[in-house]
Amino acid sequence: MLDLNDFRYFVRIVESGGLTAASRRMNVPKSTVSYRLQQLETSLGVRLINRTSRSQSMTEAGELFYRHAVATLERADLAESSVRERLAEPSGTIRFTTAVATSLFVMRYVLPAFLRRYPKVRVIQHTSDEPADIGGGSFDLAIRAHTGPLSDSTLVSRVLAPAPWFLFAAPEYLAQRGEPVSPEDLTSHDTLAMLHRDRPMAWKLRHPTHGEFIAPLEPRVGGNDLLMLMQAAREGLGIAALPGYVCREDAETGKLRQILPDWRAGEASITAVTPHRNGMLPSVRVFLDFLIEEVPKIVY
C-alpha cells in the first residue's frame, strides 16, 4: 500500500525544483527525501523523475502521478480539517429515543436549551413507550425512565436523576371524599393505578422513618398509560400514584394536590443509555453532559 507521506515528498520535490530544495523546505536531510522518492518509485514499479547530477525532469508517468497526488493530498487535507473542526465544535446529528412522558415533561425543556448552546448540532428524537434497540446502531442514546435495573448489560448507563412516585388527587375529589391522613385511609378511596403483569395490585409506600406500608388496590381505573391516569386524576376520579416530575406543573398550578407527601409511592430513575463502544462523537458526549447537568433541575 502506498504511503500518503510519500505523496507529500514527491509533490514537494516537483514544486521545489529538486531534491536539495525540497529537503530545505521540508527541513529534513536530502538523503531522507531521496529515500522516500525511491520507495515510492519502487512501490509503483516505475520511474517518476529522471535525475542527474545537474538536473531533474519528470517522466510521463511522473506527470500523471503528480496530478493525481495533488488531488489526493487536497482531499486528505480536507478530510482531516473536517474531522478537526467537528472535534473543535460539536456538530452533526444526534439520534435518540425516549418515552412519551419523558418527552413531554423533561425533553421539551432540555432540548431547546441544548440547541441554543450548540447551534451546529441537530437532533432527531424517536418517541415511543416501547423499548428501542440502541445496540444496533439506529440511535446514539436512549433516555429511559425505569423502576428496576436495566436488563441489557452490553449497554453503558448513567443515572441522570432519581424520579420518585407520589400520590396525587384533584382538589375537587378531596373536597368530596376527604383527604387521607395516613396510608390506612386509602382503603376507603377510589384509586387510579398502573397495572403490571408481574406485580400484585398494591402500592408499596415508603416513609423515611415509618418504613413500608402495602396498600392493596382495587383500582377504579387501571391501565398501562401514565398520561391517561394523570388525566383521570385531574378529572377527579380518584387518587393516582404518578411520578413527581410528571405532576409538578399541575401541583404548582393547583390542578392536582400531593397527598401523604412524606410517603413515596415508588422509586424510579431516569437514565441515559449509550451503546457499549469507544469513540463517542463529541456531539453525543456534550449532549450526555448537558443531560447530566440539566435533568436533575427538572426531575425531583
pLDDT of residue 291: 96
| Amino acid type, 287 | F
CATH code at 97? Answer: 3.40.190.10
Residue 52 or residue 202, greater confidence: 202
Pair 173, 250 in one domain: yes
Residue 8 belongs to domain with CATH number: 1.10.10.10
Q: 155 and 285, same structural domain? A: yes
Domain end (from 49, 68, 88): 88
pLDDT at 245: 94
Residues 252 and 282 in one domain: no
Q: Are 45 and 16 members of one domain?
A: yes
Residue 18, pLDDT score: 87
Is there a single domain that holds both residue 195 and residue 235? yes
CA distance 294 to 158: 14
Residue where a domain terminates, one of 48, 64, 88: 88
Number of domains into which the chain is organized: 3
Residue whose cell numbers read 500523471: 64
Q: Quick one: 49 and 113 in the same domain?
A: no
Residue 264 forms part of a structural domain: no
Q: What is the pLDDT of residues 58-107, one digit of tens each?
A: 899 989 999 999 999 989 888 887 777 666 678 889 999 999 999 999 99
214: CB partners within 8 A, 6+ apart:
202, 203, 204, 205
Regarding whether 232 and 170 lie in a shared domain, the answer is yes
Verify that 70 and 10 share a domain, yes or no: yes
134 pLDDT higher than 80: no
Residues 35 and 111 in one domain: no
Q: How confident is the model at residue 155 (pLDDT cuts 50, 70, 90)?
A: confident
Domain carrying residue 101: 92-159+269-298
CA angle 288, 289, 295 (to 5 degrees): 80
Q: What is the CATH number of the domain that holds 194?
A: 3.40.190.290
Same domain, 248 and 273: no
Indicate if 181 and 155 belong to the same structural domain. no
β strands within 78-208, DSSP E: 92-98, 121-127, 141-146, 155-162, 165-169, 191-194, 202-207
Residue 13 resides in a domain: yes
pLDDT per residue over 246-297, tens digit each? 999 999 999 999 999 999 999 999 999 988 655 678 899 999 999 999 999 9
81 and 219 both lie in a single domain = no
| pTM of the predicted structure, to 2 decimals | 0.67
